[in-house]
Each structure stands twice: as C-alpha cells, then as structure tokens.
C-alpha cells in the first residue's frame, strides 16, 4: 500500500504539473512507499508567488508571535515523533534507533531553539556617532528564500533550512531531494497545523536540473540556501552571481580523524566506528580519514576491525539493527566502485568492501569497510565516498598530522584524539574546518553553528549565526538638528 506525494503550495496539497511520474521507494527493501508527479517550472513559479504573497504579513509579525508559532510547531512534531521516525527510517533505509534517537529529537530541539532565537535578533546600540545624527541598526528579513536540500538527513535538512529563515520573518520555497520528500511534507503540514500562515512554507519536489534550477534562477528569490555536493554548489553560486543573489552553501566533507599516540585507544576506536558508520556513512561530517600515530597504528586497526565486525546490518524497523542500507542502489554502486578503484590502486581492504548477502540483497546495503595502505593523493582519500567506508593511515610527527588533516579540498569537520592539552589546542587552531571535535566526533547542538571552510562552502546552519544570514543589516541615520545648511555641505558650497 502506498500514498501519493503531493506538493505543498500556499497551504494546499497539489499534484505536480511536469507530467513526469516518480516514486519514493524504501531503499532497504525496494518497496514503493509513495508515487506522484514531479514539480515542473510552473509549480515552482506558483510556490514562489505564494511565498511572495505571504511575505508582507509574515515579515510584520512580532518576534513573539513567530516564537509562539514555532513552539506550537515543535509541539505538533513532538506529538507525532513516532510517525516521523518511522517514515524517515523507511524512506532513507536508516535504522529506527537512529531516527528515534537523533533525527527526530534533533529536529524538535532545533525548532525550540529557533523559537527562542526569533526573539534575539540583535544589532548595535543606537547612538549619535557623528554628533548630529542618531544611527540605529535594523535587521530585516530578505524576502523569499529558495532552499534546496539533499537526501541524507531529509527531516533535519528541511529544519536547518526552514527554521532560521522563518524565525527571521522570511518565507520559503524548499525543494527536497525527490528521493526523500515525505518527511519534509509532513514537517510543512505540522507548521500549518501550528498556525503558521499558508504560503510561508512551500514544498516542491522535483529534480535538481528542473525544479532546483527553476528555483535557483527565479527572479523573485532573494537568497539561495543550498545543502548538497560541492559540484552542484559551485554551479549554483555561479548562477546566482549573475543576479547578485545571496548564497548559502553547505557542501561536501571529508573529515579527518587524528589519533595522537597519547590518545585513549579504546575511545578513539569506538569513536571511529560510530563516526564513520552513522547513517551508513552518508553524513557530510562522518569520519572518513583516520590518521593514527605510528605507535598506536596496528592496535587501532585491529580494534576498529573487531568493532566493525560487531555492527549488525538488518531490517530498519528492528531496534536491534545498527546499520541500514544506503539511500539507493545507485549510491551503493558508486561506493562500491570507489572501493574497487582503491583496491585496484594498491590499497588493502581489511574488512567489508562488498554488499552483504543473505536476506539483505533486496536492499542497497554495503558492509562496514576499513581500508589501509591507500596513497594520500588517491581518490579514496581525497574524494567524498558518502558510504560506510573508513580509510586508516599512519603518521609520524605532529606536523605531519596537521598537514595530512588539511590535505583535501574540503573543510567541514575534523576531530583530534589526545590527552595532551597542547596537542588539542594546536589541532583546534590549525585544522581548517568549520568544526573541530576533541576526543569525540559527530555530536551537534542547536546553539552552535555548522558550516564549512574551503570547498565545503560558506554560511552557517543552526545557531544565531544562521539566523543572521537570513537577514539584511540596515543602517538608519537620522539627522537631529534640522539645520538647512549642514556643516558637511561646505565641501560643495559654503554657507551664505
């Protein structure tokens, strides 16, 4: 049994107009969950028009009104936590333990954070900086935000895009990945039930090249907020440059995981396994490159192998399952071909490196995989795999550790494992990444920003930093003397 995937425009559920049918499938079983018609440019136009029409009233609501609406929204999602967790799990192939413990509570916490943040837009104190004028700062919403999100954490990505925008008084059109639209739609309907006016939040599900492009190129969009791959992000930035649109880019990652020789080996090994296999490795901050100082290296590889052996693959609705499937057979094949290429280039696949058999062969599963002996400049070390694959390499000096950690185009997240405060301090200063964890890898909190350095993009999600990105800063300068001839006019004509 399956349902239909509609679009959500001006508060109404509607089918798409592109004429192109699509289905949302459960990647761990191949079962069809929902079918629909993809959004075309006309649907995007209507969604942008709805957001534009909703903007004047929404932007004039008080911070307290927006805050209260967000609080009710959080309550609606919380009341349906189990349904959100079940749909997200099935649609993505994520174990139910992950969606219950991470995706859904994380989203609820995010809504509650932005309910508070809506009341904390801040600027400078008003003052007479020139002597004769009073200057003040206004923080104003931008208008209609066009958001494009990926498939790896669909609910959380919808939250990260919608919440700061709406909390600051903007209206939004969100295009989720066509692989994973169901929880974004549920999330938007929960906002409607919470009393957020129709048109403030609109969801159009279509492909990147059609609906994504139509949204990015739309003249009535004030800002493009994108999370996805660096390749697509680059294209979007180039396109937005023509219209001087504001762009926010959360792109790929290739997080280093640096283990110094004084580290707690057991903590580091557990951290590496959890940090590389969370969401089957389809996490832009996942641990992907473990650099381990030579004295610990062999023991670390043995311990990680043993812990990976304990990870249970299985049906996503079984609370005992640790790791589900990848998002699609295409993604599984992409991961497999990168591992095969690493093998062909001389790396050693210590464990995994293949799809599991047994009852799992209907789904897009791939075994937890550990690779050693890869060259630093090889694709498996340099490029995003986005699968359950950890590469482990030794290093000798602390200088080497920092140099290797920084030696990819990416800079989203990193971790350093050490009990030495000076090493921890150096790693946090010198590793170029938007987040450096010390003795952990993965945790995020709503109060703190998430975003990249280098080819991982620019702009921050979550935290007050993200709220600021969805506003314009306006300087209002008001003359106080009423004099017709102001002193500065002397540069043009003198007083007479």
Which C-beta is closer to ligand NAP: that of 19 or that of 357? 19
Based on the shown chain and the rule CB under 6 A, indicate whether residue 386 belongs to the binding site for ligand NAP: yes
Residue 135 sits at φ, ψ, to 5 deg, of -105, 140
Q: Specify the stretch interacting with ligand NAP by CB under 6 A; choose among 116-124, 227-235, 304-312, 353-361.
A: 227-235
CB of 230 to ligand NAP, least distance (A): 6
Stretch that binds ligand NAP, among 29-37, 50-58, 142-150, 437-445 (CB under 6 A): 142-150
Residue 153: phi and psi, rounded to 5, are -130, 70
- Within 10 angstroms of residue 1's Cβ, the number of other Cβ atoms is 5
CA distances from 312 to 14, 283, 367 (A): 40, 19, 10
Residues 6+ apart with CB under 8 A from 242: none
Catalytic residue, candidates 92, 284, 392, 435: 284
Q: Which one among 28, 147, 213, 325 touches ligand NAP, defined by CB under 6 A? A: 213
Q: Is 324 in the site for ligand NAP (CB under 6 A)?
A: no
**124-140 CB burial, b ≥16 within 10 A, e <16:** eeeeeeeebeeeeeebe
To the nearest whole angstrom, how small is the minimum distance from the Cβ of residue 25 to ligand NAP? Answer: 14
Determine the straight-line distance between the first and last CA of the chain, rounded to whole angstroms.
Answer: 86
* The two structure tokens encoding residue 105: 């509570």
**Window 84 to 123, contacts with ligand NAP (CB under 6 A):** none
Q: Which residue is nearest to ligand NAP (CB)?
A: 208
In whole angstroms, what is the distance from residue 217 CA to residue 212 CA? 9
| CA 179 – CA 284 distance, rounded (Å) | 18
Surface-to-core class of residue 105, CB atoms within 10 Å of its CB (0-12 exposed, 13-18 middle, 19+ buried): middle
443-462: which residues touch ligand NAP (CB under 6 A)? Answer: 450, 452, 456
Closest contact distance (angstroms) between CB of 164 and ligand NAP is: 14
Selecting among 46, 88, 178, 250, the annotated active-site residue is 250
Write down the H helix ranges in 152-281: 154-167, 182-193, 213-217, 230-243, 265-277
The only residue of 28, 99, 107, 177 in contact with ligand NAP, by rule CB under 6 A: 177
The H-or-E segment that residue 171 falls in is strand 171-175
Which residue in the set 19, 209, 219, 357 belongs to the binding site for ligand NAP (CB under 6 A)?
209
- Give the H or E element holding residue 451: none
Whose Cβ is closer to ligand NAP: residue 241's or residue 473's?
241
Does 128 qualify as catalytic in the annotation? Answer: no
Q: Pairing mode, if any, of strands 246-250 and 255-259? A: unpaired
**Is 71 near ligand NAP (CB under 6 A)?**
no
The nearer residue to ligand NAP, 384 or 398, going by C-beta atoms, is: 384
Binding flag, residue 152, ligand NAP (CB under 6 A):
yes
Q: Which H or E element spans position 146?
A: strand 144-148
Candidate list 40, 95, 208, 394; residue touching ligand NAP; CB under 6 A? 208
Least CB distance from residue 224 to ligand NAP, whole Å? 8
- Residue 174, number of CB atoms within 10 A of its CB: 29
- Tokens standing for residue 300: 């670390």
From 189-197, 203-211, 255-263, 482-490, give the range in contact with ligand NAP by CB under 6 A: 203-211
Report the nearest approach of ligand NAP to the CB of residue 214 (Å). 9
Residue 166: which of 137, 123, 205, 195 has the closest Cα? 195
Q: Does 78 bind ligand NAP (CB under 6 A)?
A: no
The answer to the question of residue 228 lying near ligand NAP (CB under 6 A) is yes
Chain positions 392 to 421 lying near ligand NAP, rule: CB under 6 A, are 412
User: Among 252, 256, 353, 387, which residue sits at the site for ligand NAP (rule: CB under 6 A)?
Assistant: 252
Tell how strand 171-175 and strand 144-148 pair up.
Answer: parallel
| Number of residues in contact with ligand NAP under rule CB under 6 A | 31
Of the ranges 120-128, 244-252, 314-322, 397-405, which one interacts with ligand NAP (CB under 6 A)?
244-252
Binding mask 344-383 for ligand NAP (x = CB under 6 A): ----------------------------------------
The reply to whether 284 belongs to the active site is yes
In 285-364, which ranges are E strands? 287-293, 348-351
**70 binding ligand NAP? (CB under 6 A):** no
Closest C-alpha to 355, from 27, 123, 10: 27
How far is it, in rounded angstroms, from Cα 417 to Cα 433? 16
Q: 178: closest CA among 147, 209, 207, 202?
A: 207
Between CA 190 and CA 87 the distance in angstroms is 15
Among 9, 38, 251, 342, binds ligand NAP (CB under 6 A): 251
- Nearer residue to ligand NAP within complex by CB, 50 or 236: 236
Minimum gap (Å) between residue 295 Cβ and ligand NAP: 33
Residue in 175, 107, 118, 147 with CA at minimum distance from that of residue 248: 147
Residues 255-314 that bind ligand NAP (CB under 6 A): 284
Q: Which residues are catalytic?
A: 250, 284
Residues that bind ligand NAP (CB under 6 A): 148-152, 175, 177-178, 207-209, 212-213, 216, 227-229, 232, 235-236, 250-253, 284, 384, 386, 412, 450, 452, 456
């Amino acid at each position: 049994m399956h349902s239909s995937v509609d679009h959500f425009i001006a508060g109404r559920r509607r089918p798409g107009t592109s004429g192109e049918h699509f289905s949302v499938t459960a990647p761990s079983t191949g079962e069809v969950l929902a079918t629909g018609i993809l959004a075309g440019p006309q649907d995007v136009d209507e969604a942008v028009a709805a957001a534009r029409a909703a903007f004047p009233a929404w932007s004039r609501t008080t911070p307290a009104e927006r805050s209260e609406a967000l609080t009710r929204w959080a309550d609606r999602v919380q009341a349906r936590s189990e349904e959100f967790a079940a749909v997200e799990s099935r649609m993505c192939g994520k174990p139910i333990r992950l969606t219950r413990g991470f995706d859904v509570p994380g989203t609820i916490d995010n809504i509650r954070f932005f309910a508070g943040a809506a009341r904390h837009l801040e600027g400078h104190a008003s003052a007479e900086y020139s002597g004769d004028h009073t200057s003040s700062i206004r923080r104003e919403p931008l208008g209609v935000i066009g958001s494009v999100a990926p498939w790896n954490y669909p609910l959380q990505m919808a939250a990260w895009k919608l919440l700061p925008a709406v909390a600051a008084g903007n209206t939004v059109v969100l295009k989720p990945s066509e692989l994973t639209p169901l929880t974004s739609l549920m999330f938007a309907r929960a906002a409607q039930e919470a009393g957020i006016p129709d048109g403030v939040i609109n969801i159009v599900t279509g492909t990147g090249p059609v609906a994504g492009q139509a949204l990015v190129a739309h003249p009535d969009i004030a800002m493009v907020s994108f999370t996805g791959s660096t390749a697509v992000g680059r294209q979007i930035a180039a396109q937005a440059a023509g219209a001087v649109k504001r762009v926010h880019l959360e792109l790929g990652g290739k997080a280093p995981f640096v283990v110094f020789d004084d580290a707690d080996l057991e903590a580091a090994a557990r951290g590496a396994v959890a940090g590389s296999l969370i969401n089957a490795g389809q996490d832009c901050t996942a641990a992907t490159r473990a650099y381990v100082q030579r004295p610990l290296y062999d023991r670390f590889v043995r311990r990680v192998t043993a812990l990976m052996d304990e990870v249970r693959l299985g049906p996503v609705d079984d609370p005992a399952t640790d790791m589900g499937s990848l998002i699609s057979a295409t993604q599984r094949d992409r991961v497999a071909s990168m591992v095969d290429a690493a093998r062909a280039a001389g790396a050693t696949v210590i464990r995994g490196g293949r799809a599991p058999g047994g009852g799992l062969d209907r789904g897009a599963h791939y075994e937890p995989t550990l690779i050693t002996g890869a060259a630093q400049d090889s694709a498996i070390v340099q490029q995003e795999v986005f699968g359950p694959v950890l590469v482990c390499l030794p290093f000798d000096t602390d200088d080497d550790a920092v140099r290797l950690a920084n030696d990819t185009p990416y800079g989203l997240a990193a971790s350093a494992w050490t009990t030495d405060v000076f090493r921890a301090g150096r790693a946090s200063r010198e590793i170029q990444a938007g987040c450096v964890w010390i003795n952990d890898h993965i945790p995020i909190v709503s109060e703190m920003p998430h975003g990249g350095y280098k080819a991982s993009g620019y702009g921050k999600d979550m935290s007050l930093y993200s709220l600021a990105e969805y506003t314009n800063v306006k300087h209002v300068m008001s003359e106080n003397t009423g004099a017709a001839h102001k002193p500065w006019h002397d540069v043009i004509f003198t007083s007479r």
